[in-house]
Chain A
Amino acid sequence: MVDYSVIGRQADAVRSREVVTGQARYCPDIRLPGMLVGKLLYPELPCARITRLDVSVARTLPGVVTVLTAKDIPGENSYLYAPPADQPLLVPVRVRYQGDALAAVAAETEESAQAALNAIQVEYEPLEGVYDVLEAMKPGAQQVWSDRENVYDHLVIDHGDIEAGFKQADIIIEHTYLTPLVEHAFMETEGAVAYRDGDGTMVVYSSCQAPHRDRMQIARSLGLPENQVRVITPHIGGAFGGKDEAHVQIHAALLAQASGRPVRIIRSREESILTHVKRHPVIVRYRSGITRDGKLTAVHAEAIGDTGPYLNAGKDVMNFVAATLSGPYFVPHARLESYTVFTNNPICGAMRGYGIPQASFAYEAQMDLLARAINMDPLEIRLLNGLETGMQVPTGVTIREGRGMKICLQEAAHLSGWKEHDKEDRQPAPHLRRGWGIASIWFSIGMGRNIPDHATATLEMTLDGSVILHTGAADMGQGAHTALAQMAAEAIGVKFEAVKVIGPDTDRTFDAGPSVASRQTFISGNAVLRAAQPVREALLQTASELTGLPMEILQLKQGLVLAEDEVLSLTVSELAVKAMEQNRRLQADGFYAMEYPEPLPPHSYRYAPSVFTFGTQVAQVLVDIETGQVTLEKLVVVQDAGKVINPGGARGQVEGGVIMGLGYALMEELLVGRGSTQNLNLGNYLIPTAKDVPGLIVKIMEIPEPYAPYGAKGLGEPPLTPTAPAILNAVVDAIGIPLYRIPLTPERILTAIEAHHAENPPNDV
């Protein structure tokens, strides 16, 4: 075991003092002289043609400085998350969903900006939209686009011989699983502040996950070279994927450019829920074959995702659903399919989990029904089929490090007392039923093959031995900056407190890619290690010259200089001064790109990721069969992290993910009727509160990942993904009736119980 002095040790989050004193500045807290209030106009109908858009009155109102429509945009009128750039910034003619923007205004006050929106005259020709994903797939359905089919993408991942696989099965079962449309509900709504600097640079403070992509998008829409745009992230109040694509930063910059004044746009909570991308509601048809002794022989699963009218990350998310639908199990024959389907519902794309919450819900609910069909314990069937290192999965990838699957399963079983459950009280009162459920997941880290996945980090050692780390990686609260600072401290050999982090500022930091896909610990972490190496070497070389000792026995640790285990009377500062005098460089860049040394066999899925993490959760629930209320009594969470960089941060990521997962299981669902969202605030879109969180028993496993910095891999998303199926399986165990849909609202549970009693009259009880 390597003895680290900073890695794996507790440290407060960088900049936490600013947060607890209220000094942390988020976009809404930024005030600039002469700053205007920016607002966007949203349509009254989710699907329409604009026949008249008259802003002439609005432009004349007192306090109104600028009103922009589509034709006022100097550059490209579209977002460019990835090609095709199909979503306009301001709709010229055709409204395709409730969150399309029609016009942008900048005014002296909130009131005058609102008055300007009210004074814009819009006439619509209502159009027939398509609001049901299965309807949208039918021939002759209303088309969202005239030049593209509603079924934008149909991916088929074929592995082995699916027919032969089903022939080997003793039992085949097939069910359909449904997951809801879900909202990120980051506490800070989307915001941006833009102003033109003295030299003409457009400076944009942006609450975002992808500052360098923001810069590119702003430049292309304003018609500026990219080096005339500077994107800075202030504190970011959560994101969870929902601030991966640009939101209002391009609009704020357009308004600042047109008005010549600073402009701030902050979305209201209603606007936030109305507009940004959501987690896809997905329908999964899942068919699997199994032998009587419990071996999976074949899986054929199809996932249908309602992606809304614009592509965004929709296809990528749905392809991830397909690529993981076989679950963390060895499946010799598989056909995994995804459909990405346009509708006039809200846009769907990245949200914590990126397709895996939908996939894991289906494969883990199905796994329990398979276990039930052959009368096998749910733990046993998972242990019997679980992935291992070296096994090939349907995408064509061979698992690099797969021990985590069974280690997490066994640990969760142990911590939850899985074998002891039946000794506990299953019916503590006549109307109450207790049950237990288990669920395991696999989760890929990084963007996937053939997708850009790299980062640069820069380190500077100063003459007093303190260090400045520049990173373009956005920290939205997940703790990336703290983890990177710890890695820098460890890798150079200074104390954690000696490292200061400069976060994304595109004039000062290099591109680290977006903070998505649980990738920054791995990718930016490796970049930091590569930057640290030459700095450390320059210091050690200097130490060797000063002491006459060979470099191999010298070490830097916590700011001390050691020869083997003996602390020398030299400081890092002295080394830095000496190194500088000898013209040695004490600044360095590190660049890292995800490596895929294993070749893929032919016909593999071309984006197949290679790094996987595993986790298992066990839920204990109490169901009131009279009210349908589910109480989550206990949740055991075992998650592989490769290596914990910061215990507090790691625990926060795991618990936070799990709490979002329990919201997914029990309460969260955006209700959309004919393209209009009904629950537009946090009073009717309910997320978990402190009182919804049960006793959590969390254990983080450390199974080092090859190629990862200190063996650490991402932890931001995976813990969310087993929670919903574990809870569902526990509820099914409690009431003895299969369920196929989340959230498990009291109504749904009562309906299922009633339907079951109607089919099975209770005279056999």
Chain B
Amino acid sequence: MNEIEIHLAVNGIPRTIQSEPGNTLLEILRDKLGLTGTKEGCGAGDCGACVVVMDGQAVNACLVLAAQAEGTQVITVEGLAQDGNLHPLQSYFAEKWALQCGFCTPGMLMSCYALLLNNPNPDPDEIRDAISGNLCRCGTYQSVVEAVLATVKMSQEARGG
């Protein structure tokens, strides 16, 4: 196989990866970088378990070819907590029981994280839109919406407004 060299930043760390042309971003993250927090649920872009944030947008990592990730900034679930402190989304997901089996949770968190990057004050319908590509068979959707709203409220209070 002709390997290609891919350069990208994952959770703020620059990486150079030898990849086969057919590799997906999901394979790079899980198999080459050992970042197994990002899950594979269907391999076809139907379930959202593999959502990561690439250049500020939520993407299904199973649908992104390695070459498409060249030069991008990727954030995965492992990149949310800073210095051992959970991101508020993570804390509220736990507190609101916005997770059961937890397999969809990393993708769900990253869709919510991307939403807040682009829309710091979403309403419940906008949150539902943002996670409509993240299937959760345990049915935590309502609690996810509440966790995002709690995060928004907290950050508004932190900003004094």
Contacts and interface: CB of A to CB of B under 8 A. Distances in A.
A496 interface: no
A582 interface: no
B96 interface: yes
B137 A186 contact: yes
B128 A16 contact: no
A90 to B, nearest CB: 25
A77 B15 CA distance: 47
A681 B143 contact: no
A22 B77 contact: yes
Interface stretch (B2-10, B33-41, B66-74, B152-160): B33-41
B131 A690 contact: yes
Nearest to B44: A681
A649 interface: yes
Interface string B7-44: 00000000000000000000000100011111111111
A132 to B, nearest CB: 30
Interface string A305-320: 0000000000000000
A24 B37 CA distance: 7
A239 B132 CA distance: 22
Interface residues of A, number: 53
B41 A652 contact: no
Contacts of A235: 101-103
Contacts of B151: none
Contact of B141 (A238, A479, A659, A682): A659
Contacts of B40: 28
Contact of A19 (B36, B91, B99, B143): B99
B142 interface: yes
B97 A269 contact: no
A20 B93 contact: yes
B86 A22 contact: no
Interface string B113-132: 00000000000000111011
B36 A22 contact: yes
A664 B140 CA distance: 17
Interface string A179-198: 00000111111000000000
B50 to A, nearest CB: 11
A714 to B, nearest CB: 15
B108 to A, nearest CB: 9
Given A12-B94, A13-B97, A682-B47, A659 B139 contact: yes
B39 to A, nearest CB: 7
Best-buried of B86, B90, B138 by chain A (most CB within 10 Å): B138
Contacts of A688: 139
A187 B77 contact: no
Contacts of B47: 187, 269, 682
Contacts of A31: 34
A22 B104 CA distance: 11
Contacts of B144: 690
A236 B102 CA distance: 8
Interface in A474-491: 476-479
A660 interface: yes
A656 B35 contact: no
Contact of B101 (A12, A23, A238, A681): A238
Nearest to A238: B101
Contacts of B105: 19-20
Interface string B56-86: 0000000000000000000011101100001
Contacts of A660: 137, 139
Query: Secondary structure at chain A's binding surface: helix, strand, loop or mixed?
Result: loop
A274 to B, nearest CB: 14
Nearest to B78: A22
Contacts of A268: 43
Contacts of A682: 41-42, 44, 46-47, 135
Interface in A700-733: none
A28 B97 contact: no
Interface string A5-39: 00000001100110111111110110100000000
A658 interface: yes
Contacts of B133: 689
A641 to B, nearest CB: 15
B61 to A, nearest CB: 13
A743 B38 CA distance: 33
B86 A20 contact: yes
Contacts of B142: 655, 693, 696
B95 interface: yes
A468 B134 CA distance: 35
Contacts of A738: none
A680 to B, nearest CB: 10
A240 B109 CA distance: 23
Contacts of B132: 689-691
A229 B145 CA distance: 43
A652 B140 contact: yes
A529 interface: no
Nearest to B143: A652
B53 interface: no
A696 B106 CA distance: 25
B80 to A, nearest CB: 7
A184 B41 CA distance: 13
A83 interface: no
A88 interface: no
Nearest to B102: A19
A349 B76 CA distance: 37
Contacts of B137: 184-187, 238, 240, 656, 660, 687
A187 B107 CA distance: 11
Nearest to B103: A237
Nearest to A187: B103
Nearest to A478: B100
A423 B131 CA distance: 36
Nearest to A482: B97
B51 interface: no
B54 interface: no
Contact of A649 (B81, B97, B109): B97
Nearest to A30: B36
A187 B108 CA distance: 12
B139 A655 contact: yes
Nearest to B141: A690
A269 B102 contact: no
A424 to B, nearest CB: 23
A601 interface: no
A681 B100 CA distance: 22
A13 B91 CA distance: 12
Nearest to B136: A187
Best-buried of A13, A20, A29, A269 by chain B (most CB within 10 Å): A20
B99 A20 contact: yes
A259 B7 CA distance: 37
A16 B94 contact: yes
Contacts of A690: 127-128, 131-132, 134, 136, 141, 144-145
A609 interface: no
Best-buried of B44, B86, B100, B135 by chain A (most CB within 10 Å): B100
A18 B95 CA distance: 13
A287 interface: no
A644 B140 CA distance: 18
B41 A25 contact: no
A295 interface: no
Contact of B86 (A17, A28, A237, A479): A17
B139 to A, nearest CB: 3
Interface string A278-309: 00000000000000000000000000000000
Given A237-B103, A478-B100, A682-B46, A21 B138 contact: no
17 contacts: A20-B91, A21-B81, A22-B36, A184-B137, A185-B135, A187-B137, A187-B138, A188-B101, A237-B102, A477-B99, A651-B143, A652-B139, A682-B41, A682-B42, A682-B44, A683-B44, A690-B141
**A-B residue pairs, 4 tightest by C-beta:** A22-B37, A477-B101, A237-B103, A656-B139
Given A20-B105, A681-B46, 5 more contacts: A29-B36, A185-B135, A239-B101, A648-B97, A683-B44
